[in-house]
Structure 1
Amino acid sequence: MASKGIGKGMSKRNKWIIGGVAGFVILFVLVAVFGTPSAELVFKDMNEKMLQTKSVTIDQKVAMKGTAEIGSRVYMDFSSNKDLMAKGSFSMDITAASNPMAITGDLIKIGDSNYARFSKLASSNKKIDATLNPVETKLKNEWIKVRNNDQYASFSESAFSFMANILPVPYANLNDVQRKEVLAILQDKSMYTISESSKVETAGVSAYKYIISYNKDQFKKAAKAIAGYVSYFKSDDSASGEITALTIWVNISTKQLIKAEYTGTTDSGEVTGTVSFSDYNKTQTVEKPSDYSIESELLN
């Protein structure tokens, strides 16, 4: 009789184990089928999510063929639609053989006021480097309020100018009404063509990688709408340059851009670039330098 009782107990136990395993298998299958949204849905949601960006840190590397390479890491605060707040670092390597220069420094942008601080002004050309040495000595580690006619501080404008760019997969901080208008343009069937999509692991997260093209006229409509709501973003209908190849990576969980790689053309020739996004909506303090000068004052 005792052995029968044990047998019954073991049978119940086995049933619980088998039932638990079966439940886990079913749950795993459900997660596999329903847990990961499709590439099409993530792409659609990405547009809306990126138009709710309050702040973000952007790493950018741009190479203009045979001319220059520009890099920057900048925190950007979009809490105001009138005054952009930003801070970070930049580098510029002018590769033109006749006038090579290497420039690095920091930058701050508060509305229309730009500030730059150089850490390096040098050249591989000995004659040019000899000219830059005394300039570097006077400007190095000094905050300068950038003006249009500055000879050296204006170099930082290349880093500042990218902040006004609107990508074909745009980011901004729009309210519900504004976002609805822009999304109607971006989510029109003619806007994007996804030629390839695949699930990948990048930057420690699961993402979809998309190779896309876009309708230039439709993008101009979206850019114009965004620029109408956010004064520091610029929409230039006369611009002749365009992105000819674009690959983006989107975080499947957050629906936010991780990275974009592009090839394009400008009036100066071919350009390639990488833009990486991190620290979404993590607020940092941006303040103007407590002490700054005008370039001409430091050089005299």
Structure 2
Amino acid sequence: MSLSEDGGYGGDGHRGPETGQTRTRLPDSGGDPYGSARRSRTGMSSRNLVTIVGVIVLLLAAIAFANRGGSGNNESPTDSPKDSGAGAAQPTAPTGTKPVGGKSGGIATGFAKTEQGAQSAAANYAVALNSDGMYKNESRHAIVDTVYAPSVAASRKNGLDKAYSDAAALGRAGLKPDGTVPKGMTFVSRATPVGTKIESFKGDTAKVSVWYSALFGLAGARSQNPVTESWYTSTFDLLWTGGDWKVSNSTQKDGPAPIGRDQPAASAEDMTKAVQGYGGFTYAR
């Protein structure tokens, strides 16, 4: 495309009258040549306003419906929860049912003979069996007597005594051969359950899996075994005996472990303060 001699674009056939440029005139609308366009914009704004108001009304209705549904789930907090089929995940929310009736040596006891009670027992037992109390003879025996069924407690004590008295294993954990903690260090062994799952539930037996993270190591300025995080799944065979759930057997496997977030590790001092300042939880559903 080239410029014509009079400054217009194209040849003579594209020129407007006299000036060589094409012009388009709108019909006369009473002195306001843009009146029809303004009315069009006004009409579009009205439609937009109606649409926005409609969306807001729908959102308010949805919120009201959700709130009504949530309150309906808690209308009878004293009713006993209905256990679902085996393998279905259950939320760790309050159910209104008292989960435990007592405790022994700091470990919750007296669980209900329900799926909920079995899951609560398994979660609490995972915490106890992964605590630092397992590294001392007296507290370990007390934990075993509380957690395991009487029929297997004695044999479990013998096996665990051998495992926790192994000098090489204790050394790898950063402890002294007698299981004591080096001066100036804080020993950390703590489990935090993330969720539980009923594998099977029938009569006086139940199988429950507990997924949890575990902190383990020595917190201290000169620690050669800093506190690290691991993930495990322990599966407990539970037996209803003496009016409570007790462990008859258990297995453990690694993971599933999430991808670690890019966060700076705490200093030895901050880790020590956290461990000493924050107590572990007693888990109950």
- Scaled by the length of structure 1, what TM-score is found? 0.27
Between the two structures, name the one with larger relative contact order (CA 8 Å, sep ≥ 6). 1
- Which is strand-richer, 1 or 2? 1
Q: TM-score, normalised by structure 2?
A: 0.28
Mark the structure with the bigger radius of gyration: 2
